[in-house]
Amino acid sequence: MAYVYLMVAILSEVVATTALKAAAGFTRPLPSLIVVIGYGTAFYCLSQVLRSLPVSITYAIWSGLGIVLVTLAGAVVYRQVPDGPAWIGMGLIVAGVLVINLYSRTVVHP
């Protein structure tokens, strides 16, 4: 169940971060509401994850996948398409998350 909460936390954070640009400094009500609800949901779910997974592993997955997904959302929603080196860097981030999850003894699978 921890990984379900983690995925909901990541997706909520991605939605909130994507809406943050549209909120224009919290001057637009609907995007601002999406930001508040998205981050609230994300942090609640993250707190549930931390009941059973180590904070270091949780944060590595959260931040790594969040970076990639926010970048993809930015490319689709705002047409902010990364260049080649940026994609390579994100590929390395994903590789790091995979190495942690597949090979680290630190990961506790509930």
Examine residue 110 and state whether it is found in any structural domain, yes or no: no
pLDDT tens by residue, 15-28:
999 999 999 999 99
Examine residue 13 and state whether it is found in any structural domain, yes or no: yes
How far is it, in rounded angstroms, from Cα 110 to Cα 104? Answer: 15
Examine residue 109 and state whether it is found in any structural domain, yes or no: no
Examine residue 51 and state whether it is found in any structural domain, yes or no: yes
Q: Domain range spanning residue 18? A: 2-103
Examine residue 80 and state whether it is found in any structural domain, yes or no: yes
Task: State the total domains in the chain.
Answer: 1
Examine residue 108 and state whether it is found in any structural domain, yes or no: no
Contact 19, 74 (CB under 8 A): no
How far is it, in rounded angstroms, from Cα 19 to Cα 31? Answer: 5
Examine residue 89 and state whether it is found in any structural domain, yes or no: yes
| Cβ neighbours of residue 16 closer than 8 Å, sequence gap 6 or more | 34, 35, 36, 37, 38, 39, 42
pLDDT tens by residue, 62-90:
988 899 899 999 999 999 999 999 999 98
Query: Tell me, what's the pLDDT at 54?
Result: 87
